[in-house]
């Protein structure tokens, strides 16, 4: 089934780069490649009655690059250490506050919307990077695979909404913008932040790491308190 | 062409390194995924100049520039949850959107206010 894997991989690359070209010509939120590419692929798979497992024989080659790409965050971290040190206080304070709001608002909004307890717990860690979110979900009585879906939804929405929120709230400066993307939308938000400029991306990757570590420690305690 | 080859070799190096970090995370029973551990270890190695920046910089830059692409297969995976989304999708979407807005507003505004205050009072 090597052929099939290569076909799906090629299709993903072609659609992605076409979507990227389209987005450069018409930069509209709903034309974001991160939305358009999966939407077209899902439609194609459903139309041809192909399963996700089949698709993923090719797709997994791209997912495999996610790990070294995450490790690669060490490079901008290393290059921008001086700036990060200078702004450590603001970054830490606002990431912790944002992460706290992420967990609280997810839990409370899920309750308001009458989603069941399992879904609510699966939603709580949705704003941090997938492996840690799944881990936290397990600890607090959620379903890790469903959490993974919510993490992806958060990433897509965050990367799409982020630039408009920045404009609307007049968030200025690389520090504040980086914190906003990394805290709210983990790696996906961070890749959007790198599109703005390298320093914003670096701040975003730091924020993403901090948010993940804080959520790992704080979510079980917080959920215990909410009862 | 030489640059492309060099970047490919560096990406392969980073892949090997992150696999090594996965093993290390499993072996030490740290509650951290290998990729997060990998950031810390690689950062330390760069700081201590055990790993030189030019060994990996080209590959790392390419990986970070194409980061969005690597999320696509996971996003396609949402198709396995179409029944769940048909049932609760709108309410879930509402929670995720509203909560994401709350997080962006709270973290972004606080960071903005704190860094403005710092600019006004140079230490």
Asked if A158 contacts A187 with a C-beta cutoff of 8 angstroms, the reply is no
Q: Is B52 helix (H, G, I), strand (E, B) or coil?
A: coil
* In chain A, beta strands by DSSP E: none
CA torsion A181-A186-A189-A195 (nearest 10°) is 90
- SS3 (DSSP) at A98: helix
What is the maximum span of chain B, computed from C-alpha positions, in angstroms? Answer: 57
Q: Of A95, A113, A130, which has the smallest distance from its Cβ to B95's Cβ?
A: A113
The secondary structure element, H or E, covering residue A11 is helix A2-25
Q: Say if residues A186 and A204 touch (Cβ distance below 8 Å).
A: no
Q: Pick the residue of A41, A70, A76, A158 with the most B CBs within 10 A to test the interface with B by mutation.
A: A70
The residue of A14, A153, A170, A216 whose CB has the most chain B CBs within 10 angstroms, and thus the best one to mutate to test that interface, is A153
- Kindly state whether B92 is in contact with chain A, defined as any CB-CB distance less than 8 angstroms: yes
| Cα pseudo-dihedral B30, B36, B41, B42, rounded to 10 | 160
3-state secondary structure of B70: helix
A chain contacts of residue B111, beta-carbon cutoff 8 Å: 90-91, 94, 175-176, 179-180
Share of chain B above pLDDT 90, in %: 62
Of A45, A76, A185, the CB nearest to B100: A185
Its pTM stands at: 0.85
pLDDT per position as a tens digit, B34-49 = 888 999 999 999 999 9
Token duo for residue B1: 């062409």
Q: Which tokens belong to B111? A: 């960071």
State which residue of chain A sits closest to B46, comparing Cα positions: A78
Partner A contacted by B14 (CB < 8 A): yes
Number of Cβ pairs closer than 8 Å across A and B?
Answer: 290
Distance CA A42, CA A52 (A): 9
The per-residue pLDDT for A1 is 63
Which residues of A are less than 8 Å from B91 in CB distance?
Answer: 113-115
Spatial distance between the Cα atoms of A129 and A119, rounded to a whole number of angstroms: 18
Contact B97 A161 (CB under 8 A): yes
Q: Do B109 and A169 touch (CB under 8 A)?
A: yes
Apex A133 CA angle, A20 and B23, nearest 5:
90
> For residue A69, what is the nearest residue in chain B, using CA coordinates?
B63
- Tokens standing for residue A83: 């700036």
Instruction: Determine contact, residues A154/B78, Cβ cutoff 8 Å.
Output: no
Q: Do A71 and B46 touch (CB under 8 A)?
A: no
Tokens standing for A171? 């968030």
Residuewise pLDDT in 10s, chain A (227 residues): 678 899 999 999 999 999 999 988 988 878 888 889 999 999 999 999 999 999 999 999 998 998 898 899 899 889 888 888 999 999 999 999 999 999 999 999 999 999 999 999 999 999 998 888 988 898 888 988 899 999 999 999 999 999 999 999 999 999 999 999 999 999 999 999 999 999 999 999 999 999 998 998 898 888 777 75
Q: What is the spatial distance between Cα B123 and Cα A54, in angstroms, rounded to a whole number?
A: 59
Spacing of C-alpha A17 from chain mean position: 20
């Amino acid at each position: 089934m090597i052929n099939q894997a290569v076909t799906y991989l090629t299709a993903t690359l072609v659609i992605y780069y076409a979507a990227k070209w389209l987005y450069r010509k018409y930069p509209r939120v709903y034309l974001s490649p991160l939305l358009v590419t999966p939407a077209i692929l899902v439609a194609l798979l459903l139309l041809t009655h192909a399963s996700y497992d089949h698709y993923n024989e090719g797709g997994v080659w791209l997912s495999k690059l996610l790990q070294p790409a995450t490790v690669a965050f060490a490079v901008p971290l290393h290059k921008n250490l001086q700036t990060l040190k200078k702004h450590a206080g603001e970054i830490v304070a606002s990431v912790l506050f944002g992460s706290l709001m992420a967990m609280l608002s997810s839990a409370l909004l899920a309750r308001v919307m009458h989603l069941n307890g399992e879904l609510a717990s699966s939603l709580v860690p949705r704003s941090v990077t997938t492996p840690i979110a799944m881990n936290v979900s397990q600890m607090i009585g959620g379903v890790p695979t469903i959490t993974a879906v919510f993490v992806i939804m958060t990433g897509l929405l965050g990367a799409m909404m982020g630039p408009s929120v920045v404009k609307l709230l007049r968030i200025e400066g690389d520090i504040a913008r980086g914190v906003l993307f990394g805290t709210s939308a983990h790696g996906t938000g961070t890749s959007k932040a790198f599109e703005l400029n390298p320093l914003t991306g670096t701040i975003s990757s730091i924020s993403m790491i901090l948010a993940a570590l804080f959520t790992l420690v704080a979510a079980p305690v917080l959920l215990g308190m909410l009862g | 062409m030489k640059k492309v080859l060099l970047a490919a070799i560096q990406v392969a190096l980073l892949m090997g390194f992150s696999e090594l970090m996965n093993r290390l995370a499993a072996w030490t029973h740290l509650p951290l995924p290998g990729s997060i551990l990998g950031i810390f270890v690689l950062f330390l190695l760069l700081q201590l100049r055990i790993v030189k920046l030019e060994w990996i910089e080209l590959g790392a830059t390419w990986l970070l520039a194409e980061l969005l692409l690597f999320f696509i297969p996971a996003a396609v995976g949402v198709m396995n949850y179409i029944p769940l989304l048909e049932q609760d999708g709108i309410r879930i979407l509402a929670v995720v959107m509203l909560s994401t807005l709350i997080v962006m507003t709270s973290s972004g505004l606080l960071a903005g206010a704190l860094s403005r205050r710092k600019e006004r009072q140079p230490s």
